[in-house]
Structure 1
Amino acid sequence: MTDQVLTADIAVEGAQARGVWATVRRRVLFWLPLGVLTIMMLIAVAPEPFAGLFGNPDPRVCDLSRSVRPPTAGHPFGFDVQGCDVYANVIHGARASMIVGLVCTAIALGIALVVGTLAGYLGGLLDSILARLTDIFLGFPFLLGAIVVLNTLGSRSVITVALVLALFAWPTLARLVRTSVRGIRGAEYVQAATAMGLPTRRILGQYVLPNAIGPVLAVATLTVGGVIVAESTLTFLGLGLRAPSISWGLQLASAQAVFQRAPHMLIYPSIFLAVTVLSLMTIGDVLRDAINPRARS
């Protein structure tokens, strides 16, 4: 009997997953931003071929005689204060911004899955302790907490910034995991697996997490966009990445002093930043709406 319950309920969950995919794949607002993000990922992985499409692919090849010159043939984004090609810097800046967003979200999601799953499935005293731990971290505003920690650090590499942001990004995801797991643990197939004497590790890995992670992944996609904005904001304020790193935030920071006579220095990094974040947010919204049964017709 328990085997039949397991088979039937897992089949229902599989049908629901197929229903989400059937909904998502018909949405232009899913494929269009996905195409944009695919290009951005290719740029982040191998920026040189893209940067080489116009002018010199090396963003550190500079000529002060071309300082803040507007766009010209072969240099569609113009030059910055040091006479470096803005296009090459924007392309190479995608790597740092994407790495910070993805690494931070991956670490935060990993912590959230462990904390949220243990709290939601086991409950009791452990749930209370983990809930209070989550509340402590939630008590620190995201950017303010990152500013305090980053100010105490000597070096601010891409990985360092990602780790600091992950430190304050996981509590929201952990709460979502906990809520999702608590809704799954009462399902008949989980109770049947428990009655069969399956080890807790197998129950969590095979039956609970696969069915609870859908809403979390949708929010994690939104988190990547929020982290990229946070990194750019901190770097713009002089609290994030530092030269010789190349990122969109550093380009925005260097452009603020000369914006009136060289607006191109601010416009093009802003466009790339806005398009990337908007694409991530759009995909996250589409996934969240598709996972919500009331949003599917």
Structure 2
Amino acid sequence: MSDPSTASIVSTPGAHPIDSAAPATAGQPQSNDKPRGLLGDAWRDLRRKPLFWISATLILIFLLMAAFPSLFAPGGDPANGALSRSLNKPGADGWFGYDVQGRDVYARVIYGARASIQVAVLSVLGTLLIGGTMGIISGYRGGWLDALLSRIADVFFGLPFVLGAIVILTTFNGSGAGNSKNKIMGLVTASLIVLSWPVVMRLMRSSVLATREADYIVAARALGAGTGRIILKHLLPNCLAPLLVYGTIMVGSFIGAEATLSFLGVGLKSPVVSWGIMISDGQNFVRVAPGLVFFPAAFLVTAVLSFVMLGESVREALDPKLR
């Protein structure tokens, strides 16, 4: 005989048996919720981090400063000055004072962001493109090609960064006479790319080696997918996380590298306006006019720290072990 209580539950109109068809209670996830991917989880974690919003806001300001300097320094002239205002102190007419040639330091700091950030961003894009491509080829193909590319990377790893950049720029730039602004910036960008791509190659190669034998890669290969499809559709999306982190941090590092080379006199040169050139020009007057060094150095340090902080926030969001 069947239990009456059970029979009543089954036969009573409108009653819902306890099974998977019952509606979910409040607070429980619905079955039609779409699962988030790696980037979705990372964005959810990033939105909760104050450090991310602070660094992203500062970076946005610097990017706007580089793209539209006239918005921050309306009417300012970074190139021309009057000797009558030489080494004038900061005041209402010049917030950061004037340099030895009577040029507005505030306007030069604002306009100096363009060259520094432009060189850094172009260098990072070139480094990621060249190093990432060689890392994918080396890690996916393996064999003698992997050995050859790895040994080439080892050769560049053996070059000291600053010394190598000085040698490259001194050889191809010479004294700088007759070189246009675009040529000088191109040489600095190329030198940073040549000396930095092996790091990106190693990162991409290690990611590809850890991913190329995954089940979904083996299944795609068994189904007849070509090399290009496997790399673009499967390998690349799953190997980009470390490159995004390193690329973000590398922008800040390249801003500092460009300033270092310009300070040493082998990077950008006048009439280009950059923070490194301003620090180099103001070092001889630091006792009588410390603002000539302090203001561009403050902007330089803030920009570098902003990109480093953003990179650290992205790294923590993309790494499941750090959540």
8 A Cα contact 2:79 2:271, kept in partner = no
- Show the 5 A alignment for 1:187-226: 187-226=214-253
Report whether the alignment pairs 1:182 with 2:209: yes
Report whether the alignment pairs 1:77 with 2:99: no
Partner of 1:3: none
Count of aligned pairs between the two proteins: 282
Q: By how many angstroms is 1:16 displaced?
A: 2.7
CA distance, structure 2, for counterparts of residue 104 and residue 21 of structure 1: 26
Q: By how many angstroms is 1:283 displaced?
A: 0.6
Single out whichever of 153-162 and 170-179 deviates more from structure 2: 153-162
- Match of 2:172, SS state, is coil
Which amino acid in 2 is paired with 1:201?
Answer: G
Report whether the alignment pairs 1:231 with 2:264: no
8 A Cα contact 1:48 1:58, kept in partner = no
Q: By how many angstroms is 1:225 displaced?
A: 0.8
Residue from 98, 106, 130 that aligns with 1:111: 130
Partner of 2:176: none
CA distance, structure 2, for counterparts of residue 92 and residue 211 of structure 1: 39
Q: By how many angstroms is 1:274 displaced?
A: 0.6
Provide the alpha-carbon RMSD of the alignment: 1.3
Q: Larger % of helix: which? A: 1
8 A Cα contact 2:77 2:103, kept in partner = no
Q: By how many angstroms is 1:49 displaced?
A: 2.0
Structure 2: which 5+ residue stretches go unaligned? 1-33, 174-178
Q: What's the TM-score, normalizing by structure 2?
A: 0.85
8 A Cα contact 1:49 1:57, kept in partner = no
CA deviation vs aligned residue, 1:188-245 (integer Å, no higher than 9, x gap):
1111111111111011001100110111110111111111111101111111111111
- Match of 1:23, SS state, is helix
CA distance, structure 1, for counterparts of residue 279 and residue 55 of structure 2: 23
Report whether the alignment pairs 1:57 with 2:84: no
8 A Cα contact 1:214 1:291, kept in partner = yes
Partner of 1:5: none
- Show the 5 A alignment for 1:8-23: 15-23=37-45
Residue from 93, 116, 124 that aligns with 2:112: 93
Q: What's the TM-score, normalizing by structure 1?
A: 0.92
Partner of 1:120: 139
- Match of 2:102, SS state, is coil
CA distance, structure 2, for counterparts of residue 142 and residue 224 of structure 1: 16
Could you tell me the percent identity over the aligned residues?
41
CA distance, structure 2, for counterparts of residue 50 and residue 266 of structure 1: 20
Q: By how many angstroms is 1:74 displaced?
A: 2.7
Q: Which has the higher contact order (CA 8 A, sep 6+)?
A: 1
Partner of 1:262: 289
Partner of 1:43: 65
CA distance, structure 2, for counterparts of residue 242 and residue 43 of structure 1: 21
Runs (4+) of structure 1 moved beyond 2 Å?
A: 14-17
- Show the 5 A alignment for 1:162-177: 162-177=189-204
Residue from 157, 161, 185 that aligns with 1:138: 157
8 A Cα contact 1:115 1:130, kept in partner = yes
Report whether the alignment pairs 1:240 with 2:267: yes
Q: By how many angstroms is 1:142 displaced?
A: 1.2
CA deviation vs aligned residue, 1:38-88 (integer Å, no higher than 9, x gap):
111111111122111xxx322123010111111010311100110000000
Structure 1: which 5+ residue stretches go unaligned? 1-10
Q: Which has the larger radius of gyration?
A: 2
Report whether the alignment pairs 1:33 with 2:55: yes
Which amino acid in 2 is paired with 1:43?
Answer: M
8 A Cα contact 1:43 1:91, kept in partner = yes
CA deviation vs aligned residue, 1:9-60 (integer Å, no higher than 9, x gap):
xx98x623322221112111111111111111111111122111xxx32212
- Match of 1:240, SS state, is coil
Q: By how many angstroms is 1:149 displaced?
A: 0.5
Partner of 2:22: none
CA deviation vs aligned residue, 1:119-159 (integer Å, no higher than 9, x gap):
11111111111110110111101111111100112346222
Single out whichever of 17-26 and 107-116 deviates more from structure 2: 17-26
Report whether the alignment pairs 1:67 with 2:94: no
8 A Cα contact 1:232 1:248, kept in partner = yes
